[in-house]
Chains A and B, each alone.
Chain A
Amino acid sequence: DAGVIQSPRHEVTEMGQEVTLRCKPISGHDYLFWYRQTMMRGLELLIYFNNNVPIDDSGMPEDRFSAKMPNASFSTLKIQPSEPRDSAVYFCASSLFPGVRGYTFGSGTRLTVV
């Protein structure tokens, strides 16, 4: 099992550009989570999906952020337009319900918006 796979590992973009982060969850996991981590705010849950359906997006900072899960093996987090304050490490995680074994996190995407 390759675990949760995120791409790219690093992304540097200019302010105003569109950024797309990608995640492949562990096969068979029916929950997928997107988190953001900054020094100031720590780990914040942005949105999570159950069986490809968004369940709670209350953590999404604003309309510039959107997330999709077109199938059980792929999810994207898009920022359009990007701003310097979006610079952070973005983690994707997956789990089985009720997540008795816990979440499995990917290695993250470090986003820098200049």
Chain B
Amino acid sequence: DAKTTQPNSMESNEEEPVHLPCNHSTISGTDYIHWYRQLPSQGPEYVIHGLTSNVNNRMASLAIAEDRKSSTLILHRATLRDAAVYYCILRDDAGNMLTFGGGTRLMVKP
């Protein structure tokens, strides 16, 4: 399986944008880029996914590099409730399983 690399932790100030990076240099053409987050004491929660084009939804935006070897999850205005572990995961179009790595622990300061 193609792997992803994320920083262990990041800090942000409340109400500022946050850019969470993910490197996936061995990504294949059929791999989708998925992002999940896990709030304290909760199960992981789907955030967004994409293949080649940038994606937006009510939670976040996903910016995908032109060569697809990296991507960035963008939270436009961080709140204290966004403090969580964010996982970047590659999922093959034909695959059914999600393999979680270590993720990035995002801390949001008031």
Residues of B bordering A, CB below 8 Å: 34, 36, 42-46, 49, 87, 91, 93-94, 96-103
Contacts and interface: CB of A to CB of B under 8 A. Distances in A.
Contacts of B43: 4, 91, 93, 105-108
A90 to B, nearest CB: 10
Contacts of A48: 96-97
Given A31-B96, A102-B34, A102-B49, A42 B44 contact: no
B102 A105 contact: no
B93 A98 contact: yes
Contacts of A93: 43-44
Chain B interface, >50% SS class? loop
Give the one of A31, A55, A99, A108 with max B CB within 10 A. A99
Given A43-B87, A93-B43, 4 more contacts: A4-B43, A43-B100, A100-B49, A103-B98
Q: What are the 6 tightest A-B residue pairs by CB atom distance, in nearest-first order?
A: A102-B46, A105-B43, A43-B100, A91-B43, A105-B44, A108-B43
The residue in B34, B49, B98, B103 that gathers the most chain A C-beta atoms within 10 A of its C-beta is: B98
Contacts of B94: 98
Instruction: Place the interface of chain A in its size category.
Output: 20 to 34
Contacts of B96: 31, 48, 50, 55, 97-99
